Structure 1
Amino acid sequence: MDAVPHPNRCPSHPGTLLDDIIPATGKTKAEIARLLGISRQHFYDIIGGRKPVSPAVAARLGKAFGDGAAVWLRMQAAYDAWHAEREVDVSKIPTIRAA
């Protein structure tokens, strides 16, 4: 049975997952950043949730961890959508129904 996420619970930023799985790799964050071809600061900003996982970084993470870019992009999209639904005022936009 699939667990349905609670609508009031913010999805995890992909950086949170990275922070959880990096220790199991036996590599440092700096080593992984170098392997990904991104700056250490950029990688730390992603891990800290201060920067999003871009499509280019998702492709690199997908290759490095063997799970493909789509996993990382879906996580980022879920995180972004959850925040947008709470921060963007849509009260004046009507819901359009197909005739």
Structure 2
Amino acid sequence: MYKAIRDPNRCPSHPGAVLDDIIPATGKTKVEIAKLLGISRQHLYDILGERKPVSPDVAARLGKAFGDGAEIWLQMQAAHDAWHAEREVDVSKIPTIRAA
């Protein structure tokens, strides 16, 4: 199996950016996709604009709609969130604990 090598300084894509690339290939409008997912148009636009995360609920809906399962959408969101947290959260006063 080939493991992709990603520059650790590059933020993983937000799932909304990936979704924004996928939607045109469906031949459906964003409004139609929101309706099919059972979410508001504004909620979808907030995800696409990377203003909201993909929640487990939305991940399940996306996974069903696109046939790839919820896990891939949640993994993308987790990778994106972790990358930001590692750079924005001050952990300087937290010691690293080693097993005895």
Q: TM class by shorter-chain length?
A: over 0.9
Q: Secondary structure at the match of 2:79?
A: helix
- Give, as a single letter, the amino acid of the residue that structure 1 aligns with 2:78: A
Per the normalisation by structure 1, the TM-score is 0.98
The aligned residue for residue 63 of structure 1 is 64
Rounded to whole Å, the distance in 2 between the matches of 1:3 and 1:33 is 31
Shift of 1:6: 1.1
Alignment coverage as a number of residue pairs: 99
Identity percentage of aligned residues:
83
Rounded to whole Å, the distance in 2 between the matches of 1:98 and 1:11 is 31
Rounded to whole Å, the distance in 2 between the matches of 1:50 and 1:21 is 18
Shift of 1:34: 0.2
Supply the RMSD in Å over aligned alpha carbons: 0.6
Shift of 1:5: 1.2
Rounded to whole Å, the distance in 1 between the matches of 2:95 and 2:28 is 50
Shift of 1:2: 1.8
Per the normalisation by structure 2, the TM-score is 0.97
The aligned residue for residue 74 of structure 1 is 75
* 1:87 maps onto 2:88 in alignment: yes
Shift of 1:62: 0.2
Rounded to whole Å, the distance in 2 between the matches of 1:33 and 1:76 is 19
- Give, as a single letter, the amino acid of the residue that structure 1 aligns with 2:68: D
Shift of 1:24: 0.5
Rounded to whole Å, the distance in 1 between the matches of 2:3 and 2:83 is 20
Shift of 1:57: 0.2
The aligned residue for residue 15 of structure 1 is 16
Q: Give the gaps of 5 or more residues in structure 2.
A: none
Rounded to whole Å, the distance in 2 between the matches of 1:98 and 1:7 is 27
